[in-house]
Structures are given as C-alpha cells and as structure tokens.
Structure 1
Amino acid sequence: MPGHHRLAPWFEEFLVHRSTAKPSPNTLKAYRQDYRSIADPLARAAGVALAELTVEVIGKGSMRAAFADYARSHQAASIRRCWSTWNMLCEFLFTADAIVANPMSSVLRPKVPKTLPKAFRADSVERLITTLQSPDEGGTRAWAERDFAVILTGLLTGMRAAELIAVDLGDLRDDASDGAGSAKVIHVHGKGNKERVVTVEPVVVDVLGDYLASRSERFPDTVRRRSSTGAGPWDRFRASDPMFVGRDGQRITRGTLQYRVERAYRRAGINGDRAKGALVHQLRHTFATAMADQNVSVYTLMRMLGHESMNTTQRYTTGAGTAVRGAAALNPAYELVGRSAASRDAGSHE
C-alpha cells in the first residue's frame, strides 16, 4: 500500500491496476494528463506541493471546485474524458479503502451530444476524389500519389488517424475469402491495442501500388537492396516499413497527415462542409454514414469501425445484416474512383 496517504503513489498504483486492461500509450498519457489537470488545483487549494497532496483532499466540494476551474479553459469532450479518469481513480481509491466514498457523482459533466456525426455528401466526395487526381500546382510539398492513397484508404476503410499512421506494409494481406485473389485486407492496430481487419477492394490496392512506385523513386535508399529491377512496388519494401511516409521518407506524422487532408479539402472546396475539428475523422464519419445508407447491420458496422460500444455505432445505423466485405464493397466512393480511373485510362489511349 502507498504510504502516508499521499495521492501520487496511489495514482501510480491505479495505473498498475489499469495495466491489466492493456491500455495504449495514448490512453496512459491521457490518464496522466487528466490527473495533473485536477491534482494541480487541488494542491493549490490545499496550499501544498503537488507531490505532498494527500487523499484526504478528495471530497465533493473540492472536486467540484477543481473541475469548475478546469472547465473554464477546456472543451466539453476534454471535461468528459477527465471526469471519466477521475471517476475510475476515485472508485479504485474507494475499493482500496483509501477514501470513504467516490465523490464524482456530485461533479456535473457535459452531456454527450446526440446529433449524428456530420459526413460529406456524395457530391463533396466526388469533388474530393477528382481533386486528388489532379496536380497540386500551388503546393510546395505536393506528393499527389501519397495524398490520394492515404485519403482514399481513410475514406474507404474508416481507419482513424492513429491507425493510418501506425499501419505497416506487411499489415496489408490477401483476403482469404476472395477466390479471385484481387481484394486485400488490412490488419488494423486500433484504439486500446485492439486489432481488427478491414477490406480494401482492388481499386484501392492499385492506388497504393502507384503510391509505392512513386515512393521508391523519391527514396531509392529505402528500397530493399535485394529487390530485382522488375520487382513490383510491393516487393521493393520490407513488411515492417510504414505504409505511409512523409517528405523525409519516415513514418508520416499526425501533423503532416492532418495538414495534407485539410489541404485536399480546401483544394476541393469542401472544407466548409466538414464538422468542426474533424479532418481525418471526417473521412471516418463519411465511411460510416455511407455504410449506414446501404443498410449495413449495426453489428457489422461495429466490427468495421472497431467500436467497443454498440451505442456509438448506432448513431450511424439501425440496419439489417450484411457480410463485411460485401458491405465495404457497396461504398459509393468505389464507383466514383473507378469512374475516374476509367476516364484516365481512356484519355491515355487517345
């Protein structure tokens, strides 16, 4: 047991307790951030250093005051997350007999908005795809093949920003359920270290191949030395290499990914159509809404999006059952990409 009733050692014990749930590094970072956000005002109010703060300061009045201070400079989503962290911490302290009761039920938190996630309309998606297939003449850091590949992957798989950043080339594999061998699946390392499989149809695989071919030209030093001259783009890299890279040839950063997505929206004239603060996540909303419009079952969509709670998925759909690959292939964006590709091929033969 942590000694002297100091809160900091108890918090470290709480993290050990939570470790059995296999939280991701981002989740652990959020726990620590949320702890400091409330512990700091608690320490100031008690007139002690943060390291000397004790569990005795945790009560209804002190927690309400600390959260009121926090709420003045933070958004509703941050307040809800911080409340959740401290609710788990206080429940842990109560179970360990370190406090007499969990006071968090007396601390108000913002309600989760019940509005449906905002998705791009079909015409906005068409403009985005058309724009991505045209040169970015005003861009100083333009890489058309990479931007098209990463945005199309997000649009047609619903992958989160962190998942697009973390995916490796070896995570894209043959779809065992596809007899023709043309479709692929991506093994996604999702939120909370949970894995799932998403399907990509041949048109996306082709776009990814074009991007990898351009990447091998941009960064010849990253190509496998043993790859033959006539090797396809997928054979030129290691399975452990990142799927998407930045202008330095290293794994793409979150800042670069979000910037390139926002630039694509601005070029397409659809930046005003997205939800506030949603960049890569706007693609995810659009994917989920497209699936819901095809009457995909809530269970299937839950698997496709990697949601833990069915309530989250039900914001998009209450439809009936469809198989995962069949559902993904129904996405109207596939037709738009195929139409654009056919136009390009026809133009190249004129």
Structure 2
Amino acid sequence: MNDEGAPPELAVPETALPAEIDEFLVHLAKERDLSPNTVSAYRRDLREFSTWLASTHGIDGWRWNELGRTDIRGFMAHCTRRGLAKRSVARQLSAVRSFYRWMHRDERVDVNPARAVKSPRLPRTLPAYLDKRQADTLLEHAATRAQSLEFTDVRNVAMLELFYSSGLRLSELRGIDLGDLDLVAQQVKVRGKGRKERIVPLGDHAQRALRNYLVKRDALLAKLKDSTKKPARGAVFLSERGGRMSPRAIQHAVVQLLSAVDEGAGLSTHSLRHSFATHLVDGGADLRAVQELLGHASISTTQIYTHTSVERLKKVYRQAHPRA
C-alpha cells in the first residue's frame, strides 16, 4: 500500500535496457540455463530498476560503479510507493543483487551495493492445500468425469493424479516427454528449477490414469497424422490439437476441477504440490526425503510443511501420555 498521505507514484517511461543487463540476461539463459520464464522475470525487474535510475539521475547521469546503498534503498522505496507487495519488492531486490553479483565477479564494479540492503520482512504464510478428504473428493470427481472417455476428461484426471502423486510444479509436468515416463518402474524424470533433473515415484492411481490417458493420446495422434500442423509427438500432455499444453491451459483445466472441491478458495495447481508435501509430512515422512522429492535446494523451504505434523504429534501425545 502507498504511504499514508502520499500520492501514488507514477510509473516512469521505459528506457532501453543497458548493455550490461542484456549481457547478464544472456548469461542467465546460456550459462546458467535458467528457464525462459525466469529470464523474463529478471528482465522485467531490471528494466524497472534501470528505468527508475534514468528518471532520477538522468539517462546519462549515472554509472553502475557509482551507485550505492542509498540508490538501492531509493529504488525499493519507489517500488513500495507504487503499491507493490513486500514479496514483489523483495523479488526486485533479489534481481538487482544477482545482477550486481555477476558484475562484481566480472570485475565491472568494485562492490555490490545491493548486498548490504536488507530485504523486506515477509509474512510466513501457509500455502493453500487440500486436506485428505478434499483430495479424495477431487480425484473421485475427476475420475467420474473421465468415465465419459472424452480425451480432455481422461487427460485431466491423469494430470491431477500426477500432480498429487508426485508433487510436481506446473512447469515440470508440462515439460514431461514420453521418454521421461517409466510406468513399469512407476517413476518419472522431471526437470526442476535451474533445469536440475530428479526422479520421482508414481503412485498406483497415477500409473493407471496415465496408462488410460496414453491410449487416448495415441488415438488422437493417429487422427492427426494427416494434419498440416505437426503435433508434439514427444510431449506427454497434449491439447486437442496435438500441441504440448500451455501453462495457462493446464492451470485452467485443473482449476476447473478444483472449483468442485472449494470454489473461491484460490486453489491452483501448486495447491496439489502443497497437498502432496503436507500429507507426506503429516504421515511421518522424513523431511529430507520430502525435500528431495520436491526438488528444494534448501531444507528451510521444506520446513513450512511441518505445520500439520504438529497437530499429529499433539494427537499422539494425548493418546499416549498418562498425564495428557
């Protein structure tokens, strides 16, 4: 929110990206092999930073090596006055830090002024997730719809089962190719953040749903063999036109089914990932194993899923302790 009594800050006109930012984005894409979506997010944040610098110092009135902590704090204040949430301001600061860290390693600047700037304190919010009853209701609803044997219904229940069975991110599920699936060993290879690969298990329900879907998928490809548009034969999850499903299409299909469980609750594909992790931890799974299954780089990211395990421990305590 804006500071009380202060008028909302107007967005300044965009300027061309400085050459250093362009080179940094190439570094992210080519050398660090980050996803196009991640590179685009860095581009947006750093464009806003450079545009703000041009508006406050003049287009040619500043140099990267001359900026200090005061400038970085000024940019964060600008973001806050624009009404950005704390999480968005923190993301902007993270982009600036990464950019300056790259320039410092490349000896383009003497110091990283963003390093000493504190990030806004973020509220520790619990992710939205389904309880076990809701998860059962959701999957039963999707399975009932799949009895129609329509391609989209059979595909959608396979996606739901895979999301919940393996805790995948949307981008990971979308990127799965046929060669990544091993239904005999009941496992799938996924590419997570930073293109890091990991193997995750498939449950029995997900395996059956995928087998049913692959039959429909083969039938669709056979029908499209004479189409002028070349289908994405390597991709597992296809649209009715034979292309790899877009992130928006996957989200839309899943949210429609989630609305049958709790309309208006703000549930998304990521809620299924949170449900996967929550139910594992609540069932007593080792946190390090859950971290590996989710593809988290840090155990601290996984620790948010311990919130339901506390209730489980209280229940055990009340049942077992003589003075509970």
Using the size of structure 2 for normalisation, the TM-score is: 0.77
Alpha carbons of 1:256 and 1:53: their partners in 2 closer, same or farther (altered >3 Å)?
farther
Distance across 2 between alignment mates of 1:223 and 1:317: 49
Distance across 2 between alignment mates of 1:63 and 1:200: 46
Distance across 2 between alignment mates of 1:213 and 1:96: 52
Other-structure match for 2:99: 89
Other-structure match for 1:201: 203
Aligned 1:172-321 pairs, distance under 5 A? 172-173=181-182, 182-222=184-224, 241-266=234-259, 268-273=260-265, 276=266, 278-317=267-306
2:153 aligns with one of 105, 128, 144: 144
CA RMSD of aligned residues (A): 3.3
Alpha carbons of 1:106 and 1:308: their partners in 2 closer, same or farther (altered >3 Å)?
closer
Q: CA deviation at 1:57?
A: 5.6
- Equivalent position amino acid for 1:91 in 2: R
- Equivalent position amino acid for 2:154 in 1: E
User: Secondary structure, in 3 states, of the residue corresponding to 2:236?
Assistant: coil
Other-structure match for 2:55: 44
Deviations 1:211-265 (A, max 9, x none): 12223334424579xxxxxxxxxxxxx9962111122221000111111111101
Other-structure match for 2:38: 27
Other-structure match for 2:18: 8
Using the size of structure 1 for normalisation, the TM-score is: 0.72
Other-structure match for 2:112: 102
Instruction: Give the percent of matched residue pairs that are identical in Structure 1 and Structure 2.
Output: 29
Q: In the alignment, is the contact (CA less than 8 A) between 2:151 and 2:217 conserved in 1?
A: no
Distance across 2 between alignment mates of 1:57 and 1:43: 14
Alpha carbons of 1:134 and 1:202: their partners in 2 closer, same or farther (altered >3 Å)?
closer
Distance across 2 between alignment mates of 1:304 and 1:47: 49
Count of equivalent residues: 287
Other-structure match for 2:163: 154
Other-structure match for 2:71: 62
Q: CA deviation at 1:74?
A: 2.9
Distance across 1 between alignment mates of 2:146 and 2:203: 26
1:112 aligns with 2:101: no
Aligned 1:68-79 pairs, distance under 5 A? 68-71=77-80, 72-79=82-89
Other-structure match for 1:331: none
Structure 1: gaps of 5 or more residues:
1-5, 175-181, 225-237, 321-350
Name the stretch that deviates more: 250-259 or 80-89: 80-89
